[in-house]
Amino acid sequence: MLYMNKQQLLLLKIAASAVFLGRGWQFLLWDAPYRSFFWDESLMGPVARSLGYDWSTYLNELATDGNIGKLVVISGIIFLLCAFAVWILPRWKRGLFPVILLGVFQLLFLSFLYWKEHFYILAQLIEYSLQWSTPLFLLYVIKKGATSSKMFFLLKVAVALTFVGHGLYALGVFFPVPANFTVMTVQILGVSQEQALQFLFWAGILDMVVGVGVFLPAKWAQWIVLYAVFWGLATTAARIWAHFYIDNLEFVFWRWVPEALFRVPHFLMPFFLWKVLDTETTGGTVFM
């Protein structure tokens, strides 16, 4: 076990709060893909029948657009409550843990919804690993009062899955490279579409290197994780940078800042891990 200090706690709180704030912002202002779930007869048909409704009655009485919209708003409010709650931990720990766990459940559910929307492509599911797991790492540290080798291993797994998920998309091995990846690359780097695809290919290769490299001995892994910090920050900032227009700053702020916020763990959690690995290679005490 490694003693927890304020620096560790601050990093985890910033990352967890950013995810909750970004998702709450998204839900309250831009909606969420709940309808694709509640209007899917293959998934919800058995549930409706178990409640005594045929499919038509279920749609007209329970799963109305208005009711789903209300659920989205409630979920967004819960996300915002979680974003606030992480800052008053570990005070009121017992009362706040269930609230944050509810927020984690919502993050997991959202990951499933996006996975479903993208035809159950594995890359889509695993790329959210750092987003939903970050609050769990925070709760673990607060509950135990310390970190542990088990937690660091699970953090490595979360980092690896997130970067492998991105890498699979960038490589376009099992599916076409997402158009938004190409568009953002063209807009930021000012290159052609063909050059953007080449850039994304090599970025995808490096993502796969991260997926393996985080498990190497610390003296090598620390440099790979340091790259993950840089690339995670770059891809997070790209959401704003690629869509930045000086004559439309209000739209950029309201639409793309939340997209960057819930990606903050993509660089902050690798930074958390890098601090540990860097200290391990120098024989020091973690975060002291």
pLDDT at residue 31 greater than cutoff 60: yes
pLDDT-derived band at 283 (thresholds 50, 70, 90) equals low
Can you tell me whether residue 51 is helix, strand or coil?
coil
The tens digit of pLDDT for each residue in 112-166 reads: 999 999 889 999 999 999 999 999 999 998 888 777 888 999 999 999 999 999 9
Cβ(242)–Cβ(280) under 8 Å?
no
| pLDDT of amino acid 276 | 83
Tell me the C-alpha distance between 51 and 216, whole Å: 51
Is residue 288's pLDDT more than 70? no
pLDDT of 1 strictly over 90: no
pLDDT at 252: 87
- State how far the Cα of 143 lies from the Cα of 126, in Å rounded to an integer: 26
Task: List Cβ neighbours of 24 (8 Å cut-off, separation of 6 or more).
Answer: 76, 77, 78, 79, 80, 82, 83
Instruction: Tell me what percent of the residues of the chain surpass a pLDDT of 70.
Output: 93
In degrees rounded to 5, what are phi and psi of residue 244?
-80, 120
Q: What is the pLDDT of residues 209-227, one digit of tens each?
A: 999 999 999 999 999 999 9
The stretch 175-189 carries a mean pLDDT of 91
The amino acid sitting at 277 is L
pTM: 0.92
DSSP character string of 212-250: HHTTS-HHHHHHHHHHHHHHHHHHHHHHHHTT--GGGHH
Confidence of residue 286 (pLDDT cuts 50, 70, 90): very low
Contact 127, 166 (CB under 8 A): yes
pLDDT band at 264 (very low <50, low <70, confident <90, very high): very high
